[in-house]
């Protein structure tokens, strides 16, 4: 895998993780996607995937508090 592609994937994973762990809000997540070159057409799909991760993270946090 090329270094450029790996850098992109690392940045995307970091954005997804930060969003899932509620470290950034939706607006910051969308801006980060645009900054790394994700096109407007792809953003809704990335948000949907990240929303699922965010839900799982919050669910796990709630379970841990029990």
Q: Write down the number of H helices and E strands in the chain.
A: 3, 0
Q: What pTM did the predictor assign?
A: 0.79
Q: What does the domain layout of the chain look like in residue ranges? A: 12-65
pLDDT in tens for each of the 66 residues of the chain?
A: 788 899 999 999 999 999 999 999 999 999 999 999 998 888 898 888 888 989 999 999 999 988
Query: Angle at Cα 18 formed by Cα 53 and Cα 33, nearest 5°?
Result: 90
**Closest to 7 (Cα-Cα) out of 15, 41, 23, 48:** 15
Tell me what pLDDT residue 29 has: 94
Q: Which residue has the tokens 């910051």?
A: 28
- Beta strands (DSSP E) in 10-49 are none
């Amino acid at each position: 895998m090329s270094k450029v592609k790996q850098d992109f994937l690392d940045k995307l994973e970091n954005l997804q993780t930060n969003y899932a762990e509620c470290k950034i809000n939706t607006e910051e997540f969308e801006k980060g996607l645009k900054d790394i070159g994700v096109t407007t057409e792809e953003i809704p799909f990335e948000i949907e995937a990240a929303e699922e991760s965010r839900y799982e993270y919050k669910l796990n946090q709630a379970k841990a508090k029990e």
